[in-house]
Every structure is written in C-alpha cells, then in structure tokens.
Amino acid sequence: MMTLEKFEEASELVKKVTNPTKLIHSEYLSEMTGGKVYLKPENMQHTGAYKIRGAYYKISTLTDEERERGLITASAGNHAQGVAFAAKKFGCKAVIVMPTVTPLIKVNRTKSYGAEVILYGDVYDDACEYAGRLAEEKGYTFVHPFNDTDVATGQGTIAMEIVQELPTVDYILVPVGGGGLLSGVATLAKMLNPKIKVVGVEPAEAASMTAALSAGEVVELESANTIADGTAVKAVGDKILPYVQENVDQMLLVEDDELIGAFLDMVENHKMIVENSGLLSVAALKQLDLKGKKVVCVLSGGNMDVITMSSIVQHGLIQRDRIFSVSVLLPDKPGELVQVAKTIADEQGNVIKLEHNQFVSTNRNAAVELRITMEAFGTEHKNRILDALEKNGFRPKMISAKLY
C-alpha cells in the first residue's frame, strides 16, 4: 500500500541520492497558456531521470538476503540507470535487460554504474518478460520499473517537493509510461491537497493507461510505436492502476509531431535537453484551459543520444518552416543562378544547400533544375520568399527538405 508514512520515509531517504530539482518558472510557457507554468526538471538528476527515486527506495526496503541474490530489472533506459546506480550504492549486483532499440547513451551510462546489460526484444514488454525468466532461472530479485507500490512511492516523492515549494499549485502534469510515476505523484498530491488536479499525459501511439482506464482493467496494446521511447509501454501495471483510477483527474494524448516542437522550445527558450518522454507534460499544455492557474510540468528525463537529438532538431526546424526546400526550373545560361540568389537574398533568406541538375531535361536550353534548401524565420517569412521567386518568374515548387 502507498501510505503517507511511506511517502514521508521515502522523501527523506531519496535525498541521499537525488539532486535538488527546484521548480523553474517558464515565462515562455506562461505567456503561451495564460497561467503560471513551472518546470520540475528531473532531467537534472544524476542519472538523468526521476527513476533513481523509486529504485533507491525499493532497494532500501529489501532484505539483505534479497539484495545478496542480485537484482534484475527491465527498462527502456532510465529505470535501468536508477537501479544500477542504487545497486552500486547498496553494494549489490545488478542485471539490466534493455530493448535492442534503447539509445546508446542509456546503455553506456547503465554499464558505467557497474551493471550487466543484456539487450533483448524490440520494446520494453519483451525485455520485461525475458528479465522475469532470468529472475526465476538464476534466483535474482526482480525490481519492477513501475508495477510495484514501493517503486511508485519513491517516484511520488516528486509531489512532496512540488507542494513544499509551491503549496498553491493547481495542476501537476505527469508523463505516463507504465504508470509508476503517475500513480505515486497523484496519490501523494491528493493526500496533501485533494484540490490539486493531476493530469497524466501519454503518447497517442502508446496510450496504454488511457486504454486501461476506459476498460476498467489492464489492456495490452498491439504495439507501442512512438519517439517517446521511455514511455513506449504496451500494458500498464495492475498493482498501480487502482491508484490511478482513484487519484488522477484526466488523461491527455500527445502526437509525436508535438513532441518535436516541444523539444525545440525547450532547447531555445530554456537551454535544457529533455528527452521526448519527458516533454509529454509540456506538449499537452495547450490542451488545457490554464488561465490564472499555477501549473507544474514534470520533466521526467533528459537521456537522449546526440543522433536522435540532431534528427529531432532538423525535423522541428522543417516543421516550423524555418528550413524549407524548393525546386525551380530555369534556362541553362549565365546569370540565371545569380538572379535566383539575389531574389532570395533581397528577402533575407539564407541558402544552406544548393543542387544544380543539368540533366532534368534533354533540352538544357529549355530548363535545368535548381534545388534550394534555405533558412527562414518562420511561415510568414517563407511565404514572402516564395512570393518573390514567383514574382520574378521562377515558379518555385515546394519539395521535401533534407539537410543531409
């Protein structure tokens, strides 16, 4: 059971291994929503995510014999690091089963804490099933990433810190994968102040909690295909579902495209790296009427590899018309390219890539193709550049933008 006494105990214990993550007021998000929006930056934890809380508290409740057998868990990355870090603190062995698609940064950091890492399966659920088999075969103590009330109690210590720092908070938005974080935060928040509204946020393509709440029981999705890899869970925990049913006010769904924009906003306006799963709470803000309300978005983690980061930034810039590509046809004669470049420059566009194809037509005098990728300040600026090209007779045709 999750009780106030256990939450209080956990809150004191996790201070031994957590960094203080004081609330950050976001002027940008506050202006966008009309409320006072604060960020709870759990991406700044030593392991890059909130998971250290639940892992450390859970391991603290185990007997010496359970620890000596060695620990095993399954994780898409953040719980893995939490268990590995906590196990090292307690001086016990940790074996972590991770999906094969887990970002390299999460795999390497888990290994850096001394854990044995096994890559298995395409999603978390596959890894979890295999970890369960290994636990039975080798006698390891299994530490579930979310379907455990002690783990959820540790995660819920976030609510204690939020309410202590902002007693008049109206909304807490929480990313949801398996439901451990949501159940812990919601349960303690309601204990401390029943008026606080707790909102869970899931990826639209991995909405296992929404499905469970709708059906009144755990439902296994056919797939959990989302860029929010930390929350790509096909079935939530049955042990924590009752706490969610009782304490969570609302569930919201976010499309992957919205996470791309949220990543760009976080980097540009707050100078922070937050992984896609951790941005679910931010991306969902626009779905609520928050005028005059005090809102806390839990940023659950920041473990993102550089390649993924680069891809997200590129897609975000294209999505917001800050990078776009056009194709124009022009006669193959001196001076034509200069005229195109001058038209773009006059509208303050910045060319970043140029491809000149003389073989688009058998009649080079009739037409050669020029593919231009350029930077703009946004949609309005892009349209000005397109209008100028059209006015000068170049008849631009939009094409898919690629930077590589």
Question: Do residues 69 and 191 touch, judged by C-beta distance below 8 A?
Answer: no
Q: Which of 6, 300, 325, 382 is catalytic?
A: 300
> Pick from 122, 131, 65: which is nearest to 96 by CA?
131
Per-residue buried b or exposed e for 180-210, using 16+ beta carbons within 10 Å of the residue's own CB:
bbbbbbbbbbbbbeeebbbbbbbbebbbbbb
Paired tokens of 165: 């720092």
DSSP state of 359: T
Q: Residues near 281 by Cβ (< 8 Å), separated by ≥ 6?
A: 173, 174, 175, 201, 297, 298, 299, 300
* Helix residue spans in 322-371 (DSSP H): 336-346
Would you call 51 a catalytic residue per the annotation?
yes
Contact 143, 152 (CB under 8 A): no
Cα(275)–Cα(217) distance, integer angstroms: 29
Catalytic residue among 6, 51, 58, 197: 51
Going by C-alpha positions, the residue among 248, 163, 154 that lies closest to residue 200 is 248
d(CA 157, CA 160): 5
Question: Does the annotation count 190 as an active-site position?
Answer: no
**CB of 349 within 8 A of CB of 374?**
yes
Catalytic residues: 51, 300
